[in-house]
Structure 1
Amino acid sequence: MAGIIEARLAEMGIELAGPPPAPAANYVPYVVAGDMVFVSGQIPMTAAGLDTLIKGRVGVDLDIAAGAAAARLCAINLLAQVKSACGGDLDRLVRVVKLTGFVNAPPEFGDQPKVVNGASDLLVEVLGDKGRHSRSAVSAGGLPFGCAVEVEGIFQILPA
């Protein structure tokens, strides 16, 4: 039976499919330390893999709305990792503590916050006040696989 958070995701037409993608290098997807989950940077792709990756530089190849959509997908992937960290019970999520968003953009681009709002808005829409968080939004000269956005997060959870 789906919990409250997964029911809300379903209402929004979002499914956290299967196990989240494995890391592409020598790191783990998340670390649980006490009641905190530190989720490694998530990139904008679906469970179907790299063929679905949203690539490009925001402000050059993509507009702000497309960048925000990419950040939204990163947030969905963050939730998938948190679900895994919680043994499949996403209702153990207490709150989103902090997000850091990296936007693949040229040096003169200054709308990183508008792009990363795609992730922040999704988390608040799904989780309400539990989704409100502190945040950093910065530009990067390049991101893995040429993706548009990468978002990492820190979450508080209930003990098992």
Structure 2
Amino acid sequence: MGTFENKLADLGITLPEAPAPAANYVPYVVVGDLVFVSGQIASGPNGPIIGKLGADMDVAAGADAARSCAIALLAQVKAACGGDLDRLVKVVKLTGFVNSTPDFGEQPKVINGASDLFGEALGEAGQHARAAVSAPALPFGVAVEIDGVFQIK
């Protein structure tokens, strides 16, 4: 294991195999030194993390769902790097989609679950630009979906 995976292990995280796409798309595309990772849905040991923020899920549970998306994003980056996560240079940009009611306005706090993990595990390399937006529904009823752009070497 490399430096980033050791730091993840210190946080109690072992990266899973990169999730397979759920439809007709590829999980990531490498262009030059950038990896564009398709949206990763919130998933836990029992499958997709289902819920709607502002209705049946609170911010803390939403942030945990976003954290699971971050883990899946890192698994995709690792796959894009031929199994060597230490080729990751920078998390460039995340776009977080939060399955939420029309009056829910704490999407940034939900997506902090992913941002915080990247900061803890990757340090300066994990600091990124970001958008956090509401969605009236997400695939399979999941609470959160996040896609990302990553710089690699």
TM-score, reference length from structure 2: 0.98
Cα deviation, 1:106-152, whole Å, max 9, x if unaligned, reads 11110000000000000010000100000000000000000000000
Cα deviation, 1:80-119, whole Å, max 9, x if unaligned, reads 0000000000000000000000000011110000000000
What is the deviation of 1:20?
A: 1.2
1:3 aligns with 2:2: yes
Tell me which residue corresponds to 2:132. 137
CA distance in 1, matches of 2:61, 2:133: 17
CA distance in 2, matches of 1:118, 1:22: 23
Q: Which amino acid aligns with 1:79?
A: L
What percent of counterpart residues are identical?
Answer: 67
Q: Which amino acid aligns with 1:60?
A: A
Among residues 105, 110, 115, which one is paired with 2:105 in the alignment?
A: 110
Tell me which residue corresponds to 1:14. 13
CA distance in 1, matches of 2:43, 2:104: 23
Q: Which amino acid aligns with 1:85?
A: A
Instruction: Give the gaps of 5 or more residues in structure 1.
Output: none
1:122 aligns with 2:117: yes
Among residues 80, 83, 97, which one is paired with 1:85 in the alignment?
A: 80
Tell me which residue corresponds to 1:97. 92
What is the deviation of 1:53?
A: 1.2
| Two-structure CA RMSD over aligned residues (Å) | 0.8
What is the deviation of 1:52?
A: 2.0
Tell me which residue corresponds to 2:149. 154
Cα deviation, 1:28-71, whole Å, max 9, x if unaligned, reads 0000000000000001114x5xx421101011110000000000
**SS state of the match for residue 135, structure 1?**
strand
Q: Which amino acid aligns with 2:136?
A: G
Q: Which amino acid aligns with 2:33?
A: D
**SS state of the match for residue 139, structure 1?**
strand
Tell me which residue corresponds to 1:27. 25
**SS state of the match for residue 92, structure 2?**
strand
Q: Which amino acid aligns with 1:21?
A: P
Instruction: Give the gaps of 5 or more residues in structure 2.
Output: none
Tell me which residue corresponds to 1:43. 41
Does the CA contact (< 8 Å) of 2:54 and 2:103 recur in 1?
no
**SS state of the match for residue 43, structure 2?**
coil
